[in-house]
């Protein structure tokens, strides 16, 4: 007995065809979603089935009942070899397996529905983020205490619950992954600021922008190297692989070299002839949003040189806008914002209105 295939847009419609054609006791052998032979570009559900046990007493395997055979040979064969037969218990086992298959198909359908729900939720989150960004831009241009003066973003900062006496500019600049000339960026910051993780995050974003990147670790540890290995960026360990000048010479020609600096790195940097190496020098200070104003000001004062600032640990901030006050008073532009511990990722180009909203969020 040959199995029959029933095609339909849905499983339920195909099962209805099976019931109409073979009866309600039909055995389902397979259910799959595939291209119809006559319509290769269209996906349909195919249910393969045979008549149920009530429609025939037994199924002979290997010997069709409709085959024409010699009666004498048949008699001799039946006397010597027992014909394998699909018994009722076998049919029950198959039926149980098919029922389990249908349960799995139902679970698969539920998973597909869950994926659709997840995609809808993701779209809603993206729309919400877009609204937050739009609100941030509106705060930049129209809210009280905020404005754009001479192309520079500015905002009034409060301290101790009192509005600052004057409104100063908080400037912004492009992140390092948009450099147009070969650049060596010295990354510095207070202990616990997330300096090493931020360095690796910037490297990952630069690679995504098509830049050639290298990491340089001046601390002698392997933390930066482990992160570099995850994103496929080569990492140089200065204490183990030569002087900083030798390492930078080996990196000549790359778009961006990120140096995870230490307190002792300033002397090494002063000894380097940057014109010979052929790189621009950029100093990036990491300021965590979790520190109070006094400690942030100390970090700014201790930095030998600052070209731009990256605000880290924004996700751990709790209505503390001290970093905004320090940026306002220092005049240094902010270029990066780290919003979490995810790696790679959780770093973005600064949007001042969005950053202000995050700093003052509950």
Which candidate, 215, 218, 210, 239, places its Cα nearest to that of 229?
Answer: 215
Q: For residue 203, is pLDDT > 80?
A: yes
The predicted model scores a pTM of: 0.56
CA 166 to chain centre: 42
pLDDT in tens, 33-75: 887 777 676 778 888 888 876 544 444 444 444 444 454 444 4
Query: Where do the structural domains in the chain lie, given as residue ranges?
Result: 4-112, 143-359
> Quick check: 7 and 43 in contact, CB under 8 A?
no
pLDDT in tens, 103-134: 787 778 888 888 888 778 877 777 777 777 66
Rounded to whole angstroms, the Cα distance separating 341 from 36 reads 48
Q: For residue 102, is pLDDT > 60?
A: yes
pLDDT in tens, 269-289: 888 888 888 889 999 999 998
pLDDT in tens, 169-182: 788 899 999 988 99
Superfamily of domain 143-359: P-loop containing nucleotide triphosphate hydrolases (3.40.50.300)
Pairing of strands 183-188, 256-260: parallel
């Amino acid at each position: 007995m040959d199995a029959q295939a029933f095609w339909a847009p849905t499983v339920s419609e195909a099962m209805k065809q099976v019931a109409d054609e073979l009866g309600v006791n039909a055995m389902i052998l397979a259910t799959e979603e595939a291209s119809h032979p006559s319509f290769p570009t269209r996906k349909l559900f195919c249910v393969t089935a045979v008549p149920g046990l009530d429609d025939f007493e037994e199924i002979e395997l290997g010997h069709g009942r409709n085959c024409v055979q010699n009666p004498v040979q048949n008699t001799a064969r039946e006397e010597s070899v027992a014909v394998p037969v699909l018994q009722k218990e076998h049919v029950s086992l198959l039926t149980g397996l098919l029922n389990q298959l249908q349960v799995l198909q139902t679970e698969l359908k539920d998973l597909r529905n869950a994926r659709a729900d997840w995609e809808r939720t993701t779209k809603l989150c993206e729309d919400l983020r877009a609204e937050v960004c739009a609100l941030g831009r509106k705060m930049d241009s129209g809210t009280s205490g905020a404005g754009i003066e001479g192309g520079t973003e500015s905002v009034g900062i409060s301290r101790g619950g009192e509005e600052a006496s004057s409104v100063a500019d908080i400037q912004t600049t492009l992140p390092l992954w948009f450099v147009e000339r070969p650049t060596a960026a010295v990354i510095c910051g207070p202990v616990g600021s997330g300096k090493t993780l931020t360095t690796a995050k910037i490297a990952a974003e630069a690679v995504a922008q098509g830049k050639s990147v290298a990491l340089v670790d001046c601390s002698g540890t392997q933390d930066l190297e482990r992160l570099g290995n995850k994103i496929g960026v080569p990492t140089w360990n200065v204490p183990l692989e030569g002087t900083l000048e030798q390492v930078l010479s080996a990196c000549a020609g790359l778009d961006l070299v990120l140096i995870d600096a230490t307190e002792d790195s300033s002397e090494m940097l002063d000894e380097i002839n940057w014109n010979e190496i052929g790189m621009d020098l950029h100093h990036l200070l990491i300021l965590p949003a979790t520190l109070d104003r006094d400690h942030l000001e100390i970090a700014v004062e201790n930095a030998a040189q600052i070209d731009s600032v990256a605000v880290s640990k924004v996700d751990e901030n709790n209505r503390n806008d001290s970093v905004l006050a320090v940026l306002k008073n220092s005049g240094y532009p902010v270029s990066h914002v780290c919003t979490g511990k995810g790696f790679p990722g959780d770093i973005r180009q600064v949007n001042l209105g969005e950053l202000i909203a995050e700093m003052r969020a509950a």
